[in-house]
C-alpha cells in the first residue's frame, strides 16, 4: 500500500470516527437513540427470522455485543475504504457518496425527537 493511500485510509478512519461521535452527541442532546443501536435494531428487524434466531442461539447473552461490534467494524471498514478510494479516485468517491444518498437501503426508518424540556 502506497504512502498516499495509507494517509487516505487514516483520513477515512478519522472522518468515520468524527461522524460517529457527532451523531452520538446529537442523539444524546436530542434525546434520540444511539445511531449504533438504531442501525443494529434495523439490522435485526430486516434480517430473516432464522438468522436472528441463529444469532441468539449461538451468541446467547452476547448477541447485542456482537451486533454492536459488527456495526462499529462496518463503520471502520467503510471509512477506511472510502479514504483509500478517495485519494486515488476523488470523483468516484464523490459519486459513491452522492449515490448513497439515494440508496433505499441506507434510508433507515429512524426518528429522532427532542425531549420536551421542563
Per-residue pLDDT 10s for the chain (118 aa) are 678 889 999 998 998 899 889 888 988 898 888 888 888 888 888 889 999 899 889 998 888 888 889 889 988 898 888 888 888 888 877 776 666 655 554 554 444 444 444 4
Residue 64 within any structural domain of the chain: yes
60 part of a folded domain = yes
Any domain includes 89: yes
In a domain, 13, yes or no: no
Looking at the domain assignment, is residue 6 inside a domain? no
Q: Which long-range contacts (CB under 8 A, 24 or more apart) does 86-90 make?
A: 86/8, 86/11, 86/12, 87/4, 87/5, 87/7, 87/8, 87/11, 88/4, 88/5, 88/8
Residue 112 lies in a domain: no
From the list 1, 4, 9, the residue with the least C-alpha distance to 82 is: 9
Domain count, the chain: 1
Residue 17 within any structural domain of the chain: no
Domain span including residue 43: 34-106
* Residue 42, in any domain of the structure: yes
Amino acid at each position: 500500500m502506497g504512502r498516499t493511500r495509507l494517509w487516505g485510509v487514516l483520513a477515512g478512519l478519522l472522518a468515520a470516527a468524527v461522524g460517529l461521535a457527532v451523531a452520538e452527541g446529537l442523539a444524546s442532546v436530542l434525546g434520540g437513540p444511539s445511531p449504533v443501536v438504531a442501525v443494529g435494531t434495523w439490522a435485526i428487524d430486516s434480517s430473516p427470522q432464522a438468522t436472528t434466531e441463529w444469532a441468539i442461539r449461538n451468541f446467547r447473552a452476547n448477541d447485542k455485543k456482537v451486533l454492536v461490534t459488527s456495526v462499529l467494524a462496518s463503520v471502520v471498514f467503510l471509512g477506511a475504504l472510502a479514504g483509500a478510494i478517495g485519494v486515488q479516485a476523488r470523483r468516484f468517491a464523490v459519486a459513491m457518496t452522492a449515490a448513497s444518498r439515494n440508496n433505499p437501503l441506507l434510508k433507515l426508518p429512524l426518528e429522532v425527537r427532542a425531549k420536551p424540556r421542563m
